[in-house]
Chain A
Amino acid sequence: SQKIEQNSEALNIQEGKTATLTCNYTNYSPAYLQWYRQDPGRGPVFLLLIRENEKEKRKERLKVTFDTTLKQSLFHITASQPADSATYLCALDLMNYGGSQGNLIFGKGTKLSVKP
């Protein structure tokens, strides 16, 4: 069956450290992979998108990698801060399967807590 998994339900780290979140998938060949941030009681907010032919994408303290051989994406937050505490969702875009653009497959999310 087709699955998308975010390895940890929760991740606790100390302020200043690098947080690394993992997203694995099986039986998909996504054209894009996206990461979103969701705060409690709010809608997700788009952070980064990486294409299947890109290995790495950076934005300020955020870095995403995409390994289509391993079927895995890693999401890193460097120099983490308590304000980074939130749930982070990965999502696959199966455009190349003829799906509707924007019809994303979401993981369950990883709840990150950064302690001061």
Chain B
Amino acid sequence: DGGITQSPKYLFRKEGQNVTLSCEQNLNHDAMYWYRQDPGQGLRLIYYSQIVNDFQKGDIAEGYSVSREKKESFPLTVTSAQKNPTAFYLCASLRRGGKLFFGSGTQLSVL
């Protein structure tokens, strides 16, 4: 079955460390997105990519970086510059008609 795989499910970051969240899709979708979700908050867009080798900043891109070297993959790096990284991170791809298809998320916590 087609879908989006996010890994790991849980991730812990030490202070000063960069960590990378994986997002892989086999849906053949062109556009992919990274959202951050904090308790009691709406989803906020970090980065998005409409095509391979191109990506755009969302509303809260500071402290994050991405790459899009392959259509299937859109990894997110949380850098040490992100001072409040604890959150639930969601990767999504764009289905026909403007609908988003989400992965199951990665919970990032700070040690």
Contacts and interface: CB of A to CB of B under 8 A. Distances in A.
Interface of A: 4, 9, 32, 34, 36, 41-46, 49, 89, 91, 93, 95, 100-109
B42 A107 contact: yes
Contact of A42 (B33, B35, B94, B105): B105
Given A103-B33, A103-B58, A106-B42, 14 more contacts: A9-B40, A32-B98, A43-B103, A43-B105, A44-B43, A46-B95, A49-B97, A89-B43, A100-B31, A104-B43, A106-B35, A106-B43, A107-B42, A108-B41
A89 B94 contact: no
B90 interface: yes
Q: Is the interface of B mostly helix, strand, loop or mixed?
A: strand
Size band of the interface chain B makes with A: 20 to 34
Interface string B16-51: 000000000000000101010000111111001010
Contacts of A43: 4, 90, 92, 102-105
A43 to B, nearest CB: 3
B77 interface: no
Contacts of A93: 98
B99 interface: yes
A100 B50 contact: yes
Given A42-B105, A101-B31, A102-B31, A89 B100 contact: no
Contacts of B88: 41
A42 B104 contact: yes
